Amino acid sequence: MANVRRVMWFAAAWSYLILTYPVILCAKYFHLRGKIDKRNALSNVIILRLSKLMFYLSGSRMQIVGRENIPKDKPVLFVSNHQGHMDSFIIQGFIKKPKGFVTITDYQRAPILRTWMKYMGCVFIDRSDIRQSFQCISQATENLNNGQSMVVFPEGKLNDGKETFEFQKGWLRMAIKSGVPIVPITIDNSHKILSYNGKRIHATRAKCIISKPIETSNLKKANEKEFLQHLRDVILSNL
């Protein structure tokens, strides 16, 4: 039964993406015409709907708190803990502010999905290639400077509901150079929905808490370690 549910879950995802393929032509038109805001908005809506579809098809329920803490008139850098594969679905599906993700290069191998992710402002990082990682961070910073909100998972990997890993600091350049506020996000129970190996799907009640923005415009290099610890404490305080 579990295998049947997993197959149906993934089949629904690919069926949705295939149905959106003709709409990519519209996104490409906006891209070629330099209408980046329209391209991003369309792409975000497509992936928002996919994210909600996949979340609810798991049979899960969501409790989200703190939407009022998201600034409406400027870009932000969403920073979240990373329990499981469903975290991106939760952030994209239940936070409407258009945003791109700093994510792994594995997604570049997914047809259709990779195009939508590119058009919504995602950047793909290869942690094994230092030079490419710096280029990725620079691109994400440029996105922020151009008014595009971004999402980063500073742990760098899934913790599978166990102890939250220490936050890496390479991504912090994005916030410092762009001067945008950081919006901390705490996600709980997401690892129970889709297992670490992707083979089991369970219905559960997940929770997403959005904390108040933290300004970065006056952050000094000497205070980065203390800042990261404070940010991590804020996120963990909601678990």
Q: What is the pLDDT of residues 114-169, one digit of tens each?
A: 999 999 999 999 988 889 989 999 999 999 999 999 999 999 999 999 999 999 99
Which pLDDT score is estimated for 128?
Answer: 83
Q: pLDDT digits over 27-56, tens only?
A: 999 999 999 999 999 999 999 999 999 999
Q: What are the tens digits of pLDDT across the range 211-237?
A: 999 998 888 887 899 999 999 999 999
Burial of residue 100, with CB atoms counted within 10 A of its CB: 0-12 exposed, 13-18 middle, 19 or more buried: buried
Q: Which of 56, 59, 95, 62 is nearest to 78 (CA)?
A: 95
User: Which ranges of 95-178 would DSSP assign to H, the alpha helix?
Assistant: 113-119, 130-145, 172-178
- Domain 2-236 of CATH type 3.40.1130: yes
Mind giving me the DSSP string for 34-66?
Answer: T-HHHHHHHHHHHHHHHHHHHHHHTT-EEEEE-
78 C-beta neighbours (distance < 10 Å), count: 20
> What pTM, to 2 d.p., does this model score?
0.95
pLDDT confidence of residue 182:
97
| The dihedral formed by the CA atoms of 188, 192, 196 and 198, expressed in degrees to the nearest 10 | -130
Give pLDDT, residue 140: 96
The full set of domain ranges for the chain reads: 2-236
Angle ∠(171,120,114) on CA atoms, nearest 5: 90
Dist. CA 129–CA 18, nearest whole Å: 32
Rg over CA atoms, the chain: 17
For the stretch 52-98, pLDDT in tens is: 999 999 999 999 999 999 999 999 999 999 999 999 999 999 999 99
Q: Would you state the pLDDT for residue 4?
A: 80
Q: What is the pLDDT of residue 2?
A: 66
Please state whether beta strands 77-80 and 123-125 pair in parallel, antiparallel, or not at all (unpaired): unpaired
